[in-house]
Structures are given as structure tokens and as C-alpha cells.
Structure 1
Amino acid sequence: MPDLDWTWLAGINLLQVAIVIVAIWVIFRLLLRFWPTLKKTIALFDALGQLPAFITRTDESIIGIKKETTRNGGSTLKDAQVRTEEAVERIELGVKGLYDRADAADKEDKQLRYELEQTQSADRTTAQRK
């Protein structure tokens, strides 16, 4: 075990001990008082240190999103969306055609009913005259 030289303690007086204790107490109080600010400053520098990695991840994400929202001939979301819109337009045209045909059939049905009623009315009138 090393032999320690304790002779330096002989030169310390009570005033120096008191000053060191007060200095330690003041430093401790200042740390307690400014700890929230110090903590925020440390967090800020930590965030700034992580910023380049965050920017890289964000750039990669944006590139991926851009690839999916730009047409490339078939495999992106944009292409699927365009195909879906075109299919919906074809369905709308088909349904409109069906509505037009149904309206025309209703109109023809009304005309035939009217003609049938006129014919039946004329037959009744002729039957009543006989």
C-alpha cells in the first residue's frame, strides 16, 4: 500500500475549511436552481446531435413517398389511383346508360298503357252502343 503524505493538511486552517464548505454549498444551490435550464440545454444539444440522422431518415421517407405518388407505368399508388378513377368513370357511364334505358322503358310503358286504356275505353264505348 502506498504511503500517503498527510503533511499538507497541517497548513489548512479553519477559515479555509469554512470557505470550501460554503463554496461547495453555493455550487450545490446553484446547480439545484439552474438544473431545469441545464437539463433543457443538454436536451437541446442532444437533439442537435441527432438532427443529421433525423434529416437523413426524413429525406429517405420523402423519396419513398415521392416514388409511390409519381406514375411509373403500373406499380405505384398513383398508377393504382388512376386505374381506379378510370374504372369508376366506366362504371358511371354504364350506370348512366342503364338509367337512360330504364327511363326510356318507363316512357314507352306509359305510352303503351295510355294506348291500351284508350283502346279499352273505345271497346267499352262500342260495346255499350250495341
Structure 2
Amino acid sequence: MVGLGDVAAAVVTAGAGVVGVWLFVKRVWPVVKTIPAGILAFARGVITAAQVLDSVKGLPAFIDRTDAALAQVHHELHPNSGTSLNDSVRRTEARVAELSETSERLEVGVAGLYTRVDELSAVDDRLWQTLEPDDEETHG
């Protein structure tokens, strides 16, 4: 429940706010209006310079972090003692080329085996026909 004291405090607070705005408009605003534009421009320039200096103060640490990161990237992208990404890629490419050659040899060999099995099957069929010419349904 809102009491009379709460209502009175709200009215006093609102009244103080209105009086504060009225005093600002009546007393401070005329002074602010008369400040020459050059002084305001100078003040803006000082504030801008302060903001630039504040934003630049972290630049040395940023440069150090960037240099360290670039050194790591350089290490990985150039051959060294075998531990770089570049060295690993070269080893992988060489091994893939070896496996590709092995795969091609296996394909040729397997194709030859299929041909040989077909030839042997034909010989087997001829042998069975020679041995049992009348019994083709049993082995055919």
C-alpha cells in the first residue's frame, strides 16, 4: 500500500527535478550558448585526441602478439627439422604417391588373375567334356 509519505516524497522529487531543469535553462544555458565555436571545436579536438591516445596505448602489446603469431605460422609453413606442417605435408604426399603406385600394380595384377581364372575355367570345362562327354548336366 502506498502511504501519504510516499506520495509526498514522489511529489518533492518531481518538483526538485523540474526546478533543476528550469535553473539549468535559466542560468547555465545562456552561458553555454555564448561560448565561441572555436573553443567548442578545440574542446572536441582535445577529447578526440584523448580517445585516440587511449585506443593506441594497447598497440605495442598487439604488435608483440601479432609478431609471435606470425613467427608460428612461418615456422609451420616452411621446411625445418621435420616438425613443421610443411614437412608433414611433403611426407604425406610422398606416401600417397607410393600407395598410388602400389594400387595401380595391384589393379593390374588382379585383372591378370581374373583373366587367368577365366582361362583355367575354360580348360576345366574342356577337360570335363573330354573325360565325360555324355555327363554334361552333372558338371556343367
1:86 and 2:71 equivalent?
Answer: no
Aligned length: 100
1:69 and 2:77 equivalent?
Answer: yes
Amino acid at match of 1:81: V
CA distance in 1, matches of 2:108, 2:56: 66
Amino acid at match of 1:62: L
Alignment partner, residue 118 of structure 2: 110
**CA separation of 1:92/1:43 partners in 2, compared to 1, >3 Å: closer, same or farther?**
farther
Query: Any unmatched runs of 5+ in structure 2?
Result: 1-25, 33-47
Query: Any unmatched runs of 5+ in structure 1?
Result: 1-17, 25-39
Q: For 1:19-34, what aligned pairs fall within 5 Å after superposition?
A: 19-20=27-28, 23=31
Q: Deviations over 1:82-113 (max 9, x none)?
A: 11221222222223222222211111011110
The one of 106, 110, 120 equivalent to 1:98 is 106
CA distance in 1, matches of 2:123, 2:54: 89
- Stretches (4+) displaced over 4 A: 21-24, 40-45
Alignment partner, residue 59 of structure 1: 67
The one of 44, 56, 75 equivalent to 1:48 is 56
**CA separation of 1:108/1:41 partners in 2, compared to 1, >3 Å: closer, same or farther?**
farther
Q: Identity, % of aligned pairs? A: 22
Over the residues paired in the alignment, what is the CA RMSD in angstroms?
3.4
Instruction: Give the SS at the match of 1:125.
Output: coil
> TM-score, normalised on structure 1?
0.57
